[in-house]
Each structure stands twice: as C-alpha cells, then as structure tokens.
C-alpha cells in the first residue's frame, strides 16, 4: 500500500533550510529562524549575485573569511540573534561592497583590531546587546564611510579616546546601557557630522565642558539615567541645532540661567527625576520652539512667573511629583492652545492650593490636566473638603470665597 503525502505550499517553505534558502530575483538571500537552526553559514547555497544576506535568528557560533568568498555584491549582512562569540581580523574582507552589518544580540566578547578591515564602504555597524567590554582603539579606523555605530547593551566600562578618530561622516553613536563611568574629553572631536549621541543608563557622573565642541549638527543628546551632578554652562554652546535633550534620572540640583543659551531649535527637554529645588526664570527663554518639557520628580516648591514666558508652542508639560502649592495663570500666559490641540498638563503628586486653580477649570478645553496613574484624579488639594474633581469655577466651593472664576 502506498501513501501520498500532500503538503501545502506554505508547509514546503518551512520544510527545513533548503526549501527557503536561495537568492531571489531581488538579490535577497534569507535563511532566518530556521527549524532546525543553522549552525554554520550555508555558503554553497548563496549565489554570488546576492546583495542582501540575512542569516539572523539561528545558532551560528563562528564565522571565517572563507564563508564569504566571492560575495563581492553583498551590501547588507544580518547575523543578529546568533551565537557568535568573536569577530576575527578581516573576516568580512571578501565583501568589499558591504554597507550594513548587523550583529546585534549575539554573545560577542572579542573584537579584533582589524575586525572590519577590507570593508571601506561600511555605513552601519550594529553591535548592540552583546558582551563586549573593550574596543580596540583603531577598530573602526579604516571605515571612513561609517554613519552609524550602535554599541548599546554591552558591558563597556571605558572607551579609548581615539576609537572614533577620522570618522567625520559619523551621524549616530549609540552607547546606552553600558557601564561607562567617564567619557574622554576628545572622544567626539573628529565626528564633526554627528547628529545623535546616546549614552543613557551608564554610570557617568560628569560630562567634560568641551565634550560637545565642534559638533554643529548635533540634534539629539540622551544622557538619561546617569549620575551627573552638574553641567557646565558652556556644554551646549556649539550645538545650535539641538532639538532634543534628555537629562532625566540624574542628580542635578542646579542649572545655570544660560544653560540652554543659543538652542533656538530646541523642542524637547527632559529634566525629570533629578534633585532640582528651583529653576532660573531665563532657563527656557532661549528656546521659543519648545513643545515638550518634563520636570516631574524633582523638589520644586515654586516656579518663577516667567519660566515659561514666550513658549507659545508648548503642548506637553509635566510638573508631577514635586512640592508645588499652586500654578498661576500667568505662568502659562503665552501658551497658545486651541480646542483641537490643548496643552497636556500633569500636576499629580503635588499638594496644591486648589482654590487658586479654578482658572484651569475654566480653560479645560485648551489646557487639560492629565492623570499620571489610573488612580490619579489630578493634583491633591490642601484645602479641607475640596477636591480637584469637585472644583467648579461657576460654583466655587465655600472654602474658596475669594476666588472668582
């Protein structure tokens, strides 16, 4: 007796590696998430016409130069989510046209100094979420076309000052969630095209005064979740294109009145979860395009009446979890909000004199007091028998006789 096994086309596509691992007419060779997983590069199956080589989500533990022999046309190599532990010298040199190299989420502990030699056209190297604790000082020296280096999620304890030397086309550096305790003064001195620098969730306690010098195109700076206690008032003096600055989760207790001087394009500032007790009235005066300000989780007891003066575009303001007692309507006098796009205002976690906030109820269509948590009903009222929810500017509580809506 004979049996015929009928498989749907979709089933055939998933019947082991060799049913799907071939170079398509679009130049893509995809052998991803195989069952059983690949344990080595399937070189015999890879056409020399391949331009995009995708081998991610397998169990490949090592690669050698001969694995890529003859693959001169490959522009993208994705070996993310494998089990690679090291990248040897010139291992990718047989792919001279390689532009995008993705090695994230492996087990890489060692990068040899010449790991990326022979790849003069590399634009992106993605190494985030590996086990790299040391970068050779000249590891990127011959990759002068690089625009992005992603190193987040590695146990890097320090970094050599020359590691980015000569990379004047570099636009993005990501070093979040490393173990950095300091950054060399001249780390970025040659990266004159840099647009974004990410170094959040490290152990940095200071940023050198001239660290951001000669970076006229810098737009994004993330330093959240460090241990920074103070900032030089000249730190941003040569970064006129900054759009977003994140300094939340540090230990800042003071900001200079001219901290953001010259940042006329600044749109977003995070200063939440620091130790600020007051803010200078001119702090935001240099940045008329500010749209998003987070001051939550500090120790602010009062705000200067001119702190938000001139911020006509502000649409998100978080003042939660401070020690504020009131917010005067003149604080927000210049904010032009409409019914279609109201200001989102967070005041929860403050014990406020809610009788002075009746004006906010009047403006509820243009200024919306938001809840931080599901159980939050707005600011906590210090007056007896008054709650934020029961405040009515048309019929104010008896405890607020002096306030007229």
Cis amide leading into 286 (omega within 30): no
Q: Which of 273-277, 351-355, 395-399 has the weakest average pLDDT?
A: 395-399
Question: Which segment of 115-124, 192-201, 209-218, 377-386 scores lowest on mean pLDDT?
Answer: 377-386
What global pTM score does this model have? 0.91
Query: Domains along the chain?
Result: 12-203 (3.80.10.10)
Higher pLDDT, 389 or 36: 36
Compute the average pLDDT of residues 355-365.
85
pLDDT at residue 402 above 80?
A: no
Position 170 pLDDT exceeds 70: yes
Q: Residues 348-365: what's their mean pLDDT?
A: 86
Three-state secondary structure readout of the chain: CCCCCCCCHHHHHCCCHHHCCCECCCCEEECCCCCCCCCCCCHHHCCCCCCEEECCCCCCCCCCHHHHCCCCCCCEEECCCCCCCEECCCCCCCCCCCCEEECCCCCCCEECCCCCCCCCCCCEEECCCCCCCCCCCCCCCCCCCCCEEECCCCCCCCCCCCCCCCCCCCCEEECCCCCCCCCCCCCCCCCCCCCEEECCCCCCCCCCCCCCCCCCCCCEEECCCCCCCCCCCCCCCCCCCCCEEECCCCCCCCCCCCCCCCCCCCCEEECCCCCCCCCCCCCCCCCCCCCEEECCCCCCCCCCCCCCCCCCCCCEEECCCCCCCCCCHHHHCCCCCCCCCCEEEECCCCEECHHHHHHHHHCCCCEEEECCCCCCCCCEECCCCCCCCCCCCCCCCCCCCCCCC
Please write the tens of the pLDDT for every residue from 138-169.
Answer: 999 999 999 999 999 999 998 999 999 999 99
Mean pLDDT of 86-107: 97
Question: What is the average pLDDT across 277-301?
Answer: 97
């Amino acid at each position: 007796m004979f049996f015929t096994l009928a498989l749907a086309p979709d089933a055939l596509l998933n019947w082991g590696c060799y049913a799907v691992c071939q170079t398509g007419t679009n130049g893509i060779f995809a052998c991803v998430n195989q069952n059983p997983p690949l344990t080595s590069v399937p070189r015999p199956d890879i056409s020399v016409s391949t331009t995009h080589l995708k081998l991610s989500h397998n169990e490949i533990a090592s690669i050698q130069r001969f694995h890529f022999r003859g693959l001169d046309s490959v522009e993208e190599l994705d070996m993310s989510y494998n089990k690679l532990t090291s990248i040897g010298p010139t291992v990718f040199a047989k792919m001279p046209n390689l532009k995008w190299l993705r090695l994230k989420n492996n087990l890489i502990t060692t990068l040899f100094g010449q790991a990326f030699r022979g790849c003069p056209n590399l634009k992106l190297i993605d190494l985030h979420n590996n086990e790299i604790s040391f970068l050779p000082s000249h590891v990127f020296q011959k990759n002068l076309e690089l625009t992005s280096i992603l190193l987040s999620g590695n146990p890097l304890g320090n970094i050599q000052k020359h590691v980015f030397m000569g990379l004047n086309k570099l636009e993005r550096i990501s070093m979040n969630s490393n173990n950095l305790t300091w950054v060399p003064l001249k780390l970025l001195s040659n990266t004159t095209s840099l647009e974004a620098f990410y170094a959040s969730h490290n152990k940095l306690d200071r940023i050198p005064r001239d660290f951001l010098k000669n970076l006229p195109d810098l737009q994004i700076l993330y330093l959240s979740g460090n241990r920074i206690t103070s900032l030089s008032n000249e730190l941003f003096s040569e970064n006129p294109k900054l759009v977003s600055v994140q300094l939340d989760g540090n230990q800042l207790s003071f900001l200079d009145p001219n901290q953001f001087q010259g940042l006329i394009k600044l749109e977003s500032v995070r200063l939440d979860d620091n130790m600020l007790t007051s803010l200078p009235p001119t702090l935001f005066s240099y940045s008329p395009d500010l749209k998003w300000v987070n001051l939550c989780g500090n120790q602010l007891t009062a705000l200067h009446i001119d702190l938000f003066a001139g911020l006509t575009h502000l649409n998100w303001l978080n003042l939660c979890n401070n020690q504020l007692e009131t917010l005067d309507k003149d604080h927000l006098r210049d904010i032009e909000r409409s019914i279609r796009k109201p200001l989102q205002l967070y005041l929860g976690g403050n014990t406020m004199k809610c009788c002075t906030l009746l004006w906010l109820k009047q403006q509820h269509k243009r200024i919306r007091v938001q809840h931080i948590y599901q159980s939050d009903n707005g600011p906590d009222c210090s007056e007896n028998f008054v709650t934020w929810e029961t405040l009515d500017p048309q019929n104010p509580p008896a405890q607020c006789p002096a306030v007229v809506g």
